[in-house]
Amino acid sequence: MPISGDIYRRIGRAAAGAVSVVAVGDGRSEAVMALTVSSFVTLSFDPPLVMFAIQHAADSFASMVESKAFGVSLLRAEQTGIAQRFACKGRDKTANAVFDWGERLGVPLIPEALAQIECLTNQIFMSGDHAIVVGLVEGARTRDGQPLLYYARQYGSFSAIGRA
Ligand SMILES: Cc1cc2nc3c(=O)[nH]c(=O)nc-3n(C[C@H](O)[C@H](O)[C@H](O)COP(=O)(O)O)c2cc1C
């Protein structure tokens, strides 16, 4: 028998994650759709695949699962405001936003992000009330800095306590 929603939410609060913005659209022929996610992970080294999960209820759901390509930007600790902005609903959140445009695929990316990743949409798996979107990495750029993390409904930064 499945667990209660309350216990499931507590598991979610116990799981810390890095914060990213996923975005689609080329900024010319179509509007940009973007949302904040903590479900981004690297998936496969060869071929280079990454993935994230998106809820069916997201306004950007259709755009993401039908996309040919998408951009992922891993946010830096100083980019809390960007995370909050793209965790909101409404077209306004992208209307006046400033994006970098990927050199390989032309996807929208967050300026100064810790990593900017350009992906071809590779596979979509419907799973519960989310879809898992897998991307083949066609281009990427990384910068030095500290990641923005999310834990127990709060943003924070990384503090090392030992080597893995
Ligand atoms: C830190 C954080 C992480 C999130 N992670 C995800 C996620 O992995 N997948 C998801 O679908 N929504 C996630 N969300 C919620 C979406 O950002 C939020 O529902 C947003 O309003 C969706 O935008 P849209 O409706 O314009 O598509 C997260 C929100 C926050 C604040």
Query: In the chain, what are the domains?
Result: 15-157 (2.30.110.10)
Determine the Cα–Cα distance for residues 151 and 164; give it in Å rounded to an integer.
Answer: 20
Instruction: Please report the atom of ligand 1 found closest to the CA of residue 130.
Output: 11
Beta-bridged to residue 157, according to DSSP, are 148
Please answer whether residues 108 and 115 qualify as being in contact, where contact means their C-beta atoms are separated by less than 8 angstroms.
no
Distance CA 83, CA 97 (A): 12
CA of 95 to the centre of ligand 1 (A): 18
Q: How many angstroms separate the alpha carbon of residue 158 from the centre of ligand 1?
A: 21
pLDDT at residue 116, rounded to an integer: 98
What is the structure's pLDDT at 95?
A: 85
**pLDDT for the residue 51:** 98
What type of residue is 140? A
| 161 Cα–ligand 1 center, Å | 29
CA distance 73 to 19: 9
Q: Which of ligand 1's atoms lies nearest the C-alpha of 40?
A: 8
The first and second tokens of residue 61, run together, are: 């759901």
Per-residue pLDDT tens listing for the chain (164 residues): 799 999 999 999 999 999 999 999 966 666 899 999 999 999 999 999 999 999 999 999 999 999 999 999 999 999 999 999 999 998 889 888 999 999 999 999 999 999 999 999 999 999 999 999 999 999 999 999 999 999 999 999 999 999 99
Residue 104: predicted pLDDT? 97
